[in-house]
Amino acid sequence: MLPHDHRTGEARARAGGAQHVGARRRGREREVVGLTCCSRLARRLLGLQGWRQVGTVLRQGAPAHQGGILRQCERKDSRRRDVHDAEAVRSARSEDERRDPQPVYGAYMRHEESKSFAREDVRRAVIPVYMGLIRQIDDHLARLWRFLEERKLFENTMIVVCSDHGDYLGDHWLGEKELFHEESVHTPLVVYDPDPAADGARGSDNDALVESIDLAPTFVRAAGGPLLDHIFEGRSLLPLLRSAPAEWRDAAVSELDYSFRRAGLDLQVPADKARAWMMRSKRWKYVRYEGFRPQLFDLENDPRELVDRGADPSLASVRAEYDERLFEWARNRRMRITMSNEDVAKRADTHKRRGITFGEW
């Protein structure tokens, strides 16, 4: 489901990183959503019947009765790594990224939080704490699972564990979130679907690209509601959870308004022009910045996104293709949300029947 090693490889904590407990959350609000199996939380949910994504992979776990939820929640992880292990805080960055960076990216590098996380001592102090806070979430979710199991609520409760964004924590010489590297747009997504229709797909992998905005239509459809395709720009995930859809999107979109950030001020960008958009397929990630040159990453040959091909003359056709795809996406935003497409079709050219006459001679 996205974008995620949007990353590949089971239990990966970061693009190209190593497996460890309490891995960092990744992703952004309107972006590519990926499922990760990095922490105890994911392993617990896999004791239920739910989806997980590893990088861009979705996996549905075994039914709750196979192994037992409580044993999953309470079992000690004897293989846990020391959070101070060097591998746990390994960064995805290179000195080449600091040489002539894309202007908006370069301005973000000059933010205070980016300068702080450029220091290795800061990263080694903060990242273990960050991971510990995720462990705390895991522990409290164990209490929730116990509550649901005791009251037999798993049979009619859909559970989704997700995140609004990731955190660079020094990767790509950045702190905080907001830009479009995998560390930011790659979010965890774990779904437990209690419907028996999902039984056939349990334990399977799915590398479809999904977005956070797919969650709302998923909930509506799971509750038996209408499609509401005049409102939702996302797509219900139920076909992925319960069957193999005939077709699915081959790219995911994310967007950014950085008008409140220092980068916009430093670059003297008007508030209404401080915008950026990402189009991400399995091979390419293209980022368009209003008024500045784009970024382009070859995810197949550069999964850690260390080499920006945004100015590479040999890839001009790829940039043009993805720029046009972004334009097509923008032309198909939902603008009329007060009336369904079906109702519009019924009312088309009915003005005379409703007593409205104009243009007759």
Model confidence pLDDT, tens digit, residues 287-338: 999 999 999 999 999 999 999 999 999 999 999 999 999 999 999 999 999 9
Asked whether residue 237 is assigned to any structural domain, the reply reads yes
Q: What is the predicted pLDDT for the residue at 45?
A: 41
Annotate 165-181 with DSSP letters as a single string: ----TTGGG--SS-S-S
Q: What is the predicted pLDDT for the residue at 202?
A: 75
Q: What is the predicted pLDDT for the residue at 257?
A: 97
Q: What is the predicted pLDDT for the residue at 93?
A: 95
Asked whether residue 3 is assigned to any structural domain, the reply reads no
Query: What does the longest C-alpha to C-alpha distance in the chain come to?
Result: 87
Do 34 and 205 meet the contact criterion of CB atoms below 8 Å apart? no
CA–CA gap between residue 283 and residue 168 (Å, rounded): 22
Residue ranges of the chain whose pLDDT lies below 70:
1-88, 203, 205
The CB density around residue 113, as the number of other CB atoms within 10 Å, is 18
DSSP, res 36: -
Two tokens at 230? 């005049």
Asked whether residue 317 is assigned to any structural domain, the reply reads no
User: If you count them, how many residues does the chain have?
Assistant: 361
Q: Which residues, in sequence order, are CB contacts of 49 under 8 Å at separation 6+?
A: 60, 61, 62, 63, 64, 192, 193, 194, 198, 199, 202
Q: What is the predicted pLDDT for the residue at 109?
A: 98
Asked whether residue 50 is assigned to any structural domain, the reply reads yes
Q: What is the predicted pLDDT for the residue at 87?
A: 58
Residue type, 163: S
Asked whether residue 1 is assigned to any structural domain, the reply reads no
SS3 252: strand
Asked whether residue 327 is assigned to any structural domain, the reply reads no
Asked whether residue 280 is assigned to any structural domain, the reply reads no
Do 34 and 3 meet the contact criterion of CB atoms below 8 Å apart? yes
pLDDT digits over 106-161, tens only? 999 999 999 999 999 999 999 999 999 999 999 999 999 999 999 999 999 999 98
**Domain with 246 in it: what CATH number?**
3.40.720.10
Q: Which is nearest to 297 in space by CA: 289, 287, 285, 288? A: 285
Q: What is the predicted pLDDT for the residue at 25?
A: 33
Rg (CA), the chain: 22
Provide the H-helix boundaries in 199-315.
215-222, 238-242, 262-266
- Domain hosting residue 198, numbered range: 32-254
- Side-chain-side CA neighbours of 340 within 13 Å: the count stands at 7
The total of structural domains in the chain comes to 1
Per the listing, tokens 């922490």 go with: 39
Asked whether residue 184 is assigned to any structural domain, the reply reads yes
Q: What is the predicted pLDDT for the residue at 86?
A: 52
